[in-house]
Structure 1
Amino acid sequence: MPVREEKPVVAVIGGGFSGAAFAFHLLKRHGDAARVVIFEPRETLGAGLAYSAKDPAHRVNVPAGRMSIDPDDPESFLRFTMAHPAAQADPHLLGADGQPYPARSLFGTYARTVLEPFLASGAIEHRRAKVREIARLDDGWLVEDGFGPALRADIVVLAATHPAPDLPRPLKALGDDPRLITDVTREGALDGIGTDERVLIVGNGLTAADVIASLRSRGHRGKLTAISRRGLRSRGHPAVAQDPFGDFASTPSRRASHLLHRIRRSLREAAEQGIGWHAVLDAVRQQGFAIWQALPLPERRRIVRFARPFWDAHRFRIAPQVEKALDDAIADNVLSIRAAALRNVVPSKEGFTVTLTQKGSGVSELIVDRIVVTTGPAHGRVLQSQPFLETLAADGVLTLCGTGLGIACDLTARAIDAKGEIVPSFFIAGPLARGTFGELMGLPQVTEHAVLVADQVGAVLAKQSGESLAGSLNFYKNYR
């Protein structure tokens, strides 16, 4: 059994942006109160799945000036971007709105650069390994990765990535057919698609937009068909930025139907004043924490079940460069977006015969050469996505949140176990805490949440050392 170290140990599971931002703020705000060990199999920290993409067609979804790891320095990424040679050599850096939207990989480089001083000083230790098991001890946790020695940790911060998409049932029978691309995040996933091949894209969100932009940038000319149940495509940014419009937080709704009525009313009022829908949705996003806290669990579930696809399509906007790629593909009669669901898929030497149940027009068929799955994470299966999570769930340490969006935790980000009790030294960081905090997918919100978790962990460490620390949750509420 590993011996206890003199300095408390904080184990961070996942070294993407959520884990990196937490470690940065813990060390920035609370000094060297603990030894920080980040378990991340990738070569570098900070990029994770989202910002490891090497395809230059994959761009950040908001202007560089609205992305930062540090709320105290909101323009740090903008400065980094404008000074970086890769951005200076990018002929498509500026969007139609005149703002810089660099390649997504550049933000990963930025996050890595921010952490480099902490790695160099030894304040952060990067273990390039996947966690295999986390076992509960009387006074902490034992973290094993199967390579190095087991780590005895006082605090665990779970900042793992989203679970992989669930395959629609008609696709599961296709097995490992190489013409079915189930993981577009894998390097070279789209390389085998021929220039004139017909491609069916299952899903119509941000990932689908990235796939279309990538194919178009490579000169793909074949027919593209993107399907989703409601046929909603990703939206872009307004031509001219507008201030958020609408008040949904001072007297927040207690029912989902009432909230949606208020949003629709605000959309009408905004339109009457010449203000676009973006401003109303921005107000909902900014007030998301207060809105979500006011809704009882059954009403949250209604939002997730019925309104989430509409929210995602309008909330998570694409860069102008990506929007143009979609618009051009539609104008060229290359891209067709349909409100449809898979009914049956039959493989053959020529490709796939796909039967669709199409909204409002019954059943239709099409023949395609490739199928690409972009349906998004299977949030409800997060506790089955990695062996150590399965074990923690079986032991009752972790549970799925009531909304099905992530892992159950309280408003201090501490995990809630199967008995409904708080696990004092196990924290949930990043989008896996979305079910509790509500709006926790955009980078600014993930950064704010990292500050909250860092302060909560800092409070535990201060208490252990006999010091006092207060105000972390108030910071989170006030910052929002």
Structure 2
Amino acid sequence: MPVNRKNAIVAIIGGGFSGAALAVHLHRAVERLEAVQVIVFEPRATLGAGLAYSTPEPANRINVPAGRMTLYPDDPDSFVRYLDRTNALADDAAAVLPDGQAYPQRSVFGAYVAAEIAPLLEAGGLEHRRSTVQHVGRRGNGWELLTADGDSHFADIVVVATSHPPPALPQVLQPLAGHSKLVADVNADAALDKIDAEDRVLIVGNGLTAADAFAALRRRGHHGPVVSLSRRGLRSRGHPAVPQEPYGDFTDPPSGRASELLRRIRAALRVSEADGATWHGVLDAVRLQGRDIWRNLPVNERRRIVRWLRPFWDAHRFRIAPQVETLLDAAVLSGQLQIAAGSLVSARPDKGGSLHIDIRFRGDKDVTPTDVDAVIVTTGPAHGGILNSQAFLSGLKQAGLLTLCPTGLGIRCDEQSRAVDRQGETIETLLIGGPLARGTFGELMGLPQVTEHAVYVAQVIARRLASVAAVTRSAAVQSVSG
């Protein structure tokens, strides 16, 4: 790593959870090194929340118990202590379940991360630049970052830790673009405010975001009919009634084919079911072994998993909070919510103000005409368009310095999270942090895995800075001796 200045500067672009976690753990990792400056570029006023944990919507809750959410893998009770210390759940009677497990609103976790990073900012260990990075380019052995406010900054090392790209509007829905009741990005400010209580709503998607959108509508008093549509009709699953230990070994021996991996998972599910357990423990084992499982698969097999198995994995892996699950179950039983499998065929606005959608439900040859008042798109981030989602990423792509991961899951990087350029060469001073690296690391969407990856990347950077410092000291000693 060609860092040869006395004062090394590490720039982290993106201050959501991924960027903030990396900043905290990098600060820890370089504490013993002299003069390492860590700067986080994030336009939001606080670090750590990002899209996921800055939402003001009270119906949006973390989807795992608070006891499994932490900024520090070596301190699993950190968030729980914060809840106790701040009495953060005092005004949220629904947060704690009868079994004592707490599922706070997502904004509470964002506040926790901000509280953890605040002392480092106050002490000067980290710096927060409230700017949007517009351009990143080579400058000598380092990088020049140009921000929207016209400033230029130098960094020896750059880490791309930006958020997911916004959802892409499905081509079929393009005729509705600009309609006041088409919600193309549910994370946008006031996204659901124009949907009336009695509106007929089509939610495109059935995952966590769809569940959050429905819960938010219900909190606003919505009582109109809702259809939640996805190709397979797979709804996000809930947590087990009784906690289970992870079950199954899927790395010894390693699986080199997606079909073999699927066979082993199904076999473990049968054994687990025979023992009276549910599928949860088996899928938890797959998640915990995810990085090693992924590493053992060639790229073509990874792509097969993404294409054919990812929807099933997402439905079981990303579980909804019990409060939201109960809400959805009741809505399905009452008939307000229909979980459907099918595909969109066409869409157009009606002269009367409604939206006309043609749907081909799974198993039907004929198209079913459907009139709704609003459409909410919850199909998830458009990962294939990540390099065109921000100006600086587009510039790095045009320069050949960033490329898409061949799995279609993010940005291409190596096993040390270093970016891989157009020629297939690694760039030692340009790293990828957070879920954008999951094409290489596999299971990198859940918070525990994102935190562990932040620790790993921080250690990669710290080792390289320490190595450079050692070489610099050795050269200085030899100079004096000479």
1:414 equivalent among 411, 418, 440 = 418
Q: Which residue of 2 aligns with 1:355?
A: 358
Give the Å deviation of 1:95.
Answer: 3.2
Cα deviation 1:12-53 (Å, max 9, x = unaligned): 000001100111011112216411111111110000111001
Give the residue type in structure 1 aligned to 2:24. F
Q: Which residue of 1 aligns with 2:232?
A: 230
* DSSP 3-state at the match of 1:336: strand
Share of identical aligned residues, percent?
53
Q: Does 1:14 align with 2:17?
A: no
Cα deviation 1:132-159 (Å, max 9, x = unaligned): 0001122100001031521110000110
Q: Which residue of 1 aligns with 2:394?
A: 390
2:243 equivalent among 229, 241, 245 = 241
Give the Å deviation of 1:5.
Answer: 7.2
Kindly indicate whether the alpha-carbon contact (under 8 Å) linking 2:144 and 2:153 is maintained by their aligned counterparts in 1: yes
Cα deviation 1:193-243 (Å, max 9, x = unaligned): 111111100111110000011111222100010000000001110011000
2:380 equivalent among 354, 376, 379 = 376
Comparing 322-331 with 459-468, which one deviates more in the overlay? 459-468
Q: How does 1:282-321 map to 2 (within 5 A)?
A: 282-321=284-323
Q: How does 1:35-434 map to 2 (within 5 A)?
A: 35-95=37-97, 97-348=99-350, 349-362=352-365, 363-434=367-438
Kindly indicate whether the alpha-carbon contact (under 8 Å) linking 2:175 and 2:349 is maintained by their aligned counterparts in 1: no
Give the Å deviation of 1:467.
Answer: 6.9
Kindly indicate whether the alpha-carbon contact (under 8 Å) linking 1:344 and 1:355 is maintained by their aligned counterparts in 2: yes
Measure, in 2, the Cα distance between the counterparts of 1:440 and 1:95: 28
Kindly indicate whether the alpha-carbon contact (under 8 Å) linking 2:39 and 2:126 is maintained by their aligned counterparts in 1: yes
Give the Å deviation of 1:187.
Answer: 2.1
* DSSP 3-state at the match of 2:323: helix
Measure, in 1, the Cα distance between the counterparts of 2:337 and 2:310: 24
Using the size of structure 2 for normalisation, the TM-score is: 0.94
Kindly indicate whether the alpha-carbon contact (under 8 Å) linking 1:81 and 1:102 is maintained by their aligned counterparts in 2: no
Measure, in 2, the Cα distance between the counterparts of 1:203 and 1:166: 13
Give the residue type in structure 1 aligned to 2:374. R
Measure, in 1, the Cα distance between the counterparts of 2:380 and 2:267: 30
Give the Å deviation of 1:88.
Answer: 1.9
Comparing 69-78 with 144-153, which one deviates more in the overlay? 144-153
Kindly indicate whether the alpha-carbon contact (under 8 Å) linking 1:358 and 1:364 is maintained by their aligned counterparts in 2: yes
Give the Å deviation of 1:315.
Answer: 0.2
Measure, in 1, the Cα distance between the counterparts of 2:425 and 2:358: 48
Measure, in 1, the Cα distance between the counterparts of 2:466 and 2:5: 17
Q: Which residue of 1 aligns with 2:478?
A: none
* DSSP 3-state at the match of 1:19: helix
Kindly indicate whether the alpha-carbon contact (under 8 Å) linking 1:159 and 1:430 is maintained by their aligned counterparts in 2: yes
Give the Å deviation of 1:175.
Answer: 2.3
**Where does the alignment leave 5 or more consecutive residues of structure 2 unmatched?**
473-482
Kindly indicate whether the alpha-carbon contact (under 8 Å) linking 1:351 and 1:369 is maintained by their aligned counterparts in 2: yes
2:458 equivalent among 454, 460, 463 = 454
Measure, in 1, the Cα distance between the counterparts of 2:439 and 2:342: 28
Measure, in 1, the Cα distance between the counterparts of 2:98 and 2:138: 52
Measure, in 2, the Cα distance between the counterparts of 1:291 and 1:431: 17
Cα deviation 1:65-106 (Å, max 9, x = unaligned): 001111111110011123333312211011365310000000
CA RMSD of aligned residues (A): 1.4
Give the residue type in structure 2 aligned to 1:402. P
Q: Which residue of 2 aligns with 1:478?
A: none
Measure, in 1, the Cα distance between the counterparts of 2:176 and 2:218: 27
Give the residue type in structure 1 aligned to 2:406. G
Kindly indicate whether the alpha-carbon contact (under 8 Å) linking 1:95 and 1:319 is maintained by their aligned counterparts in 2: no
